[in-house]
Amino acid sequence: MDTKELLKKVRKIEIKTKGLTNNVFAGEYHSAFKGKGMTFSEVREYQFGDDIRNIDWNVTARFGHPYIKVFEEEREMTVIILIDISNSIKTGANELKSNRIAELTALIAFSASQNNDKIGAIFFSNKIEKFIPPQKGKSHILRIIREVINFSQPEEGKPFTFFKNIFKRIEPQNHRTDIAESLRFLTNAITKKSTVFLISDFEADDFSKAIRIANQKHDLIALYVYDQIEVKLPKGFYIRAEDAETGNIKDINAKNEFIRSLQEKRWNEKNEKLTQTFRKSGVDFAMIPTDKDYVKPLINLFKKR
């Protein structure tokens, strides 16, 4: 992608997500993600109903009548976005999962910025591709968005449909998804307790132990991005599909009820396993489709918190 096209995409995402941040998400984000504690603000004279445990005895003794300490919530946090850039997210029937991930990244980053939080990003596939340490500022956010778009574009001419485990799996050479590795890196690299958004389609091997350990140290939220064609094959079509992470190409007869039921079974099994993993680890999560608006599931997630 040339620079002009990249900047155009960044600007488009910025306009859309900043509008959502200003009009929809600012208050919800502020309420959902608490600061790390209370910090001293000032002292004032005691008023009826104040908590006597907050009396400042030194000031009270000096002036001869009671004063209390006033505290305010310490809002500033560190927000880390773990962004899946493996080949499987560069797919989709109508809308690429990578486009949705780019918008979610921007939305979280702008919401965090409005809350005066620092934002960092970890880009991963089957290895850590890039780490952007937490900082503040619009230019920093736009850099993260540029990297998401750059990393997430599919190779020209590649099929966009993505199916896994319908047919015999060929061991991939690279471009896989290793969520456990990204979580281990997070745990080692980020020492300060942070709010962490893990955005992925979760086409990965077991990561239950790693996510449990990471969530003990940080406040972890999972955003599960999926495409409708992964849920149910379009009936009555022949589809040439490529497993984006293995390169395995197969012609699929979607008229065949057995093939269709196999895909639905795989989807249900994956969802059940992920749901159990998140719940056992104490991780809040939301399912984000590519073919529908993502505002409602995010609002529901924030309100739940």
Chain segment 112-134, per-residue pLDDT in tens: 888 888 999 999 999 999 999 99
Model confidence at 287, pLDDT cuts 50, 70, 90, reads very high
Beta carbons within 10 angstroms of residue 155's beta carbon: 8
pLDDT > 90 in the chain, percent: 40
Model confidence at 135, pLDDT cuts 50, 70, 90, reads very high
- 58 exposure class (CB count in 10 Å sphere: 0-12, 13-18, 19+): exposed
Q: What is the DSSP string of the chain?
A: --HHHHHHHHHHHHHHHHHHIIIIIHHHHHHHS--SEEEEEEEEE--TT--GGGB-HHHHHHHSS-EEEEEEEE---EEEEEEE-SGGGS--SSS-HHHHHHHHHHHHHHHHHHTT-EEEEEEESSSEEEEEEEE-SHHHHHHHHHHHHHHHPPPTT-------SSSPPPPPSS----HHHHHHHHHHH--S--EEEEEE---SS--HHHHHHHHHHSEEEEEEEE-HHHHSPPTT-EEEEE-TTT--EEEEETT-HHHHHHHHHHHHHHHHHHHHHHHHHT-EEEEEESSS-SHHHHHHHHHH-
pLDDT (mean) for 71-80: 73
| Cβ–Cβ under 8 Å, residues 74 and 35 | yes
pTM check: above 0.85: no
pLDDT (mean) for 124-148: 93
Q: In this structure, are strands 195-200 and 78-84 parallel, antiparallel, or unpaired?
A: parallel
Model confidence at 164, pLDDT cuts 50, 70, 90, reads very low
Torsion of CA 293, 297, 303, 305, to 10 degrees: -140
For the chain, list the domains and their CATH numbers. 3-32+75-304 (3.40.50.410), 37-74 (no CATH)
Q: Is the pLDDT of residue 145 over 70?
A: yes
What is the number of alpha carbons within 13 Å of residue 159 lying toward its C-beta?
Answer: 16
pLDDT of residue 85: 92
Nearest Cα residue to 100 out of 304, 269, 295: 295
pLDDT (mean) for 194-219: 95
| Cβ–Cβ under 8 Å, residues 172 and 244 | no
pLDDT of residue 51: 85
Backbone angles phi, psi at 49, to 5 degrees: 100, -15
